[in-house]
Amino acid sequence: MKWKILGLSLLFCCASANAQPAVGQGDSLLTLDEIAEWISGHVRFPEGASRYGVAGVERFVVSSAWDGRVFITSGVNTLSPAFEREIKGVVSRAPRCRFGGCGMDDIYKLVEVDFPSLMPDTLREDVLCVGRHLPPRFPLKGEKSGYLDGREAFVKWLSSRFRFPRHSDFSGYCDTLSLCYTVSEEGCMEDVRVEGCGNASVRSELERLLKRSPLWEPALTESRRPVPVSVEERVVIRPHDGGRNAQFAVCVDEVCRNSSSAPSDLDMIVLNPEVRSEYGSDKSFLRTLRDSLKVDKRVRYAGFFVVERDGSVSNLHIETADSLMGNALAALIVRSEWLPALQGGEKVRSIYTFSGVQSPPARYVYKAPPYRIGLSDKLNYSHWRSFVRGHSSYSLVKAYPELGLYPEDTAPQIKYYDGVGDMELLMTRGLPLLPIKKKVRK
């Protein structure tokens, strides 16, 4: 175990040295932790923000490109456009930085800006001050909706329903405009307007469609209080397939983009590449490990390795208390094939980190539930189905007989993360992610 930890430390030192920005001296640059503090210290309460009537604690995630430039990776979901412009302006002026590690928490850093604490005392009577909050959600029917992609989902809905007017030819039309609206506490669309549109008929049709938007799930504070959110979304609109259908594309500012240039030294390890390395299989990497490994006891494992430019694996290091499990993991990973990461169109070396818990196969057993206890509240089951046998109630529950874990015990709750939803995990950390009742659409 000790040599494996030492190996991790050596690889981290090597990776940090090889992944420093190619500008200035790496050790003299700020770390990403220090950059988060720098951003929080340079943000000011913007002029004109009080007219939106609400201010809160805004959260976003920053990272660094291979050349040290700081950029926003999570998007910015603020209570008003004034706060979004202030945050983007400060991040765009941030000094170049370096990474302090190679884990997810080292490469991505959550930043919080408490705008109510920055607000002048003369404005406090006119502005509702709230804490941290979840952005509004626009769930598309039949599609998974996250906590950060409500605005993108809404633009997708607009694109699917907008039709250019019949009386004019829009074959060569292309325009960049701003969709301005407010999602109220009830999830209704208010204060709708379209700015910067060069065609009056297109603007009129867009405003009509905006007003017919289905209900949103409103923004919620930590105490689950709904609050209004104002949005200004810049989009590019053009005809699609040569007909009346339209194609919308959200404009992404440079401060929200990774670097598009390739490093001068292709042997360096790029910790946050423009395109991540991908496992060369239909199944995810962790799912492959889970399905391939068989254990008779619960085992934790973690580690990382370098994905080379040819898709092979090198510098593999694993931490686990079970040596047989470690050998089996190593054999699987060494034989794995990967699509290498890309930076500026060039294949680059990158680091892939992983962790998980492997448990014995689950069996389903019938157990009588305890009486006078809220079963669904006290026990968290992955599978639960009740039925009546005579005068007694039984449940089909998930159990681990090899571990002696039955419903009366706390069965291990296992979650597998494969790099998907990293931003959502960081942005929603500590917030009440409770299911919200969906509204019926007509």
Q: Where are the domains of the chain?
A: 23-131, 134-255, 363-403
Report the predicted TM-score, pTM, of the whole model to 2 decimal places: 0.76
Q: With bands split at pLDDT 50, 70 and 90, how would you rate the model's confidence at 363?
A: low
CA–CA distance, 43 with 117 (Å, rounded to integer)? 11
Q: Give the per-residue pLDDT at 388.
A: 32
% of residues, the chain, pLDDT over 90: 47
pLDDT in tens, 25-63: 444 688 988 999 999 999 999 999 999 999 999 999 999
Q: Of 261, 257, 343, whose CA–CA distance to 307 is shortest? A: 343
Residue 314 has pLDDT above 90, yes or no: yes
Residue 72 has pLDDT above 90, yes or no: yes
Query: If you search the block for the tokens 């999830």, which residue do you land on?
Result: 187
Q: With bands split at pLDDT 50, 70 and 90, how would you rate the model's confidence at 430?
A: low
Q: Which of 203-212, 284-293, 414-423 has the lowest mean pLDDT?
A: 414-423
Give the max Cα distance, the chain: 78
Q: Give the per-residue pLDDT at 421.
A: 56
Q: With bands split at pLDDT 50, 70 and 90, how would you rate the model's confidence at 96?
A: very high
Residue 240 has pLDDT above 70, yes or no: yes
Q: Give the per-residue pLDDT at 433.
A: 53
Most confident of 28-32, 206-210, 325-329: 206-210
**357 Cβ contact partners less than 8 Å away, ≥ 6 residues apart:** 298, 299, 300, 301, 412, 414
Q: With bands split at pLDDT 50, 70 and 90, how would you rate the model's confidence at 149?
A: confident
Q: Give the per-residue pLDDT at 311.
A: 94
Q: Give the per-residue pLDDT at 28.
A: 63
% of residues, the chain, pLDDT over 70: 74
Q: Give the per-residue pLDDT at 29.
A: 84
Most confident of 46-55, 93-102, 296-305: 46-55
Strand-pair partners of 384: 397
Q: Give the per-residue pLDDT at 18.
A: 52
Which helix (H) or strand (E) segment is 89 a member of? helix 81-92
Q: Of 41, 192, 196, 57, whose CA–CA distance to 132 is shortest? A: 57
pLDDT in tens, 182-204: 999 999 999 999 999 989 999 99
Residue 236 has pLDDT above 90, yes or no: yes
Q: With bands split at pLDDT 50, 70 and 90, how would you rate the model's confidence at 438?
A: very low
Q: With bands split at pLDDT 50, 70 and 90, how would you rate the model's confidence at 426?
A: low
Q: Give the per-residue pLDDT at 22.
A: 42
CA–CA distance, 407 with 400 (Å, rounded to integer)? 9
- What are the Cα distances from residue 223, in Å, to 134, 185, 220, 226, 413? 11, 14, 8, 9, 26
Q: Give the per-residue pLDDT at 231.
A: 96
Identify the CATH class of 23-131.
alpha beta
Q: Of 57, 84, 114, whose CA–CA distance to 180 is shortest? A: 84
Q: Which of 64-68, 155-159, 189-193, 431-435 has the lowest mean pLDDT?
A: 431-435
Q: Give the per-residue pLDDT at 200.
A: 92
In 197-343, where do the E strands start and end?
219-221, 226-227, 229-239, 246-250, 278-279, 299-307, 313-320, 338-339, 341-343
**What 8-state DSSP symbol labels residue 173?**
-
- What are the Cα distances from residue 258, in Å, to 91, 114, 187, 211, 420? 13, 26, 33, 35, 17
Strands 392-399 and 384-389: antiparallel
Average pLDDT, the chain: 79
Residue 127 has pLDDT above 90, yes or no: yes
Q: Is the dihedral of CA 33, 35, 46, 210 positive or negative?
A: negative
